[in-house]
Structure 1
Amino acid sequence: PGKILLDVALAVALGGDCLADVAMLRAEPAVFGPVASDPTVSRLIDALAASGEKALRAIRAARAEVRRHVWRLADREAPDAGGTVTVDLDGVLVIAHSDKEDAAPTWKRTYGHH
């Protein structure tokens, strides 16, 4: 499950906007290793959604543990080593082609989610 979630996060970071976009990773096995099939990814997301808060707590705990480990490895090169952290936020539009999941008109005259 952790590898599948990592692959979904990587797909989003690479510009993906749906679960099937893990196919981008599947196209580069030498870089990303084995990547789960689309049905396997969907089943995991369904199982996590059914678990509710329990799944969220586990994901948050794993993310916090990895973050602590990476910051420890970064040592003086860590982004917060100088006492200041700059957070650069940016909005993202996800285009939808139907009314599913509360999609609505966006400020860029498209239809989807902001």
Structure 2
Amino acid sequence: MQRLWADYLFRLVAGLSPSLDGLAARLRLDIERGWEDLGAVDAAMFRIQKIDFALSRLEGSPCPDVFVWVSHAQADVDAALGLLLDALGIGEEALTFRGDIETGFVDLRSEPQN
């Protein structure tokens, strides 16, 4: 896996608190190891209802989040995230951040829980 897949095919849209291994097991995905500028990265790429996703985790990162990537072709990110969460059988409380590089990211862990 190369940095190319993230930069050109996908955009980062959210973080998830469960482990990459646990998320991949729920969807019966294989995790692949690749390298980026910052080191080893584990990732799984898949499609749900014609929407392309990738989940990744940078080895040794101080941030434990699993990054959620969605294809640039997907215009409705909220719908895509909803579909992914449903497929994983987890709720929005598992989201640690959301947003994108253009609008910025919102850390959901710092928001008050109702």
Q: TM-score range by the shorter chain?
A: under 0.3
The TM-score normalised by the length of structure 2 is 0.23
Which is greater in Rg?
1
The structure whose residues are more often strand, as a share, is 2
Identify the structure with bigger relative contact order (alpha carbons < 8 Å, sequence gap 6+): 2
Structure with the higher helix share, 1 or 2: 1
